Structure 1
Amino acid sequence: MNLAKISANGQITVPAEIRRLLELKSGDKILFYQKPTGEIIIENASTQAIYKAQKAFSGVAESLGVANEDDVQTLVDEIRYGKE
């Protein structure tokens, strides 16, 4: 169990063990949200943004016919230089 004290300004110091678990560095942002069960979740905001982006792009590569790095390069070339 880790304990943090809230300052008069509402600030807390995230315990070192939790910073390591969340891979937090100086200047990172943390995300607080409440689950429908009432449980409060704390996450690394950068990690959550990556998960959200991955979910948003899920299936896009397949729909564009992109299966490997060569397909990515072909798509980039088509966008840069027009379809050949």
Structure 2
Amino acid sequence: MAVSSDTFIDNAKVMAKGQVTIPKDVRNILGVTNGSHVTFVVEQGSVRLVNSAIYAMQTIHREMGSVGADLTEDDVMALVEEERRGGNRAHSG
């Protein structure tokens, strides 16, 4: 159900094992396809569903703002892997 050009509401049914089909319009906006990972961000009783790859890159940018050149390629890969696993690492900043 459309609310405006950049905001809309859609619904999905939760199945027995907690599975939900992400509506096509939402998948398109998130840029997720078969095999993509999504991240659930829970804040004060609300949940945002985001593309995990984009979320990891945003997290990396935040980290780089505080530590800059100190991040090695291994650090970046570890951070991406942590985000994929749903890590809840506290960010300093």
4+ runs deviating over 2 angstroms: 58-61
Which of 41, 48, 53 does residue 41 from structure 1 map onto? 48
- Residue ranges of structure 2 left out of the alignment (5+ in a row): 1-8, 71-93
> How far 1:52 moved relative to its partner?
0.6
Equivalent residue of 1:43, what SS? strand
Render the CA deviation track for 1:1-31: whole Å, top value 9, x for unaligned: 2111111111111000000111111111111
Task: Please report the TM-score for the alignment, with normalisation by the length of structure 2.
Answer: 0.58
Out of 29, 41, 46, the residue aligned to residue 21 of structure 1 is 29
TM-score (norm 1): 0.63
Aligned-pair identity in percent equals: 25
Q: Give the count of matched residue pairs.
A: 61
Following the alignment from structure 2 to structure 1, what is the Cα–Cα distance between the partners of residues 62 and 42?
20
Over the aligned positions, Cα root-mean-square deviation in angstroms equals 1.8
Give the AA of the match of 1:46. A
**Pairing 1:58–2:46 present:** no
Rg larger for = 1
- Secondary structure in structure 2 of the residue aligned to 1:10: coil
Higher relative contact order (CA 8 A, sep 6+): 2
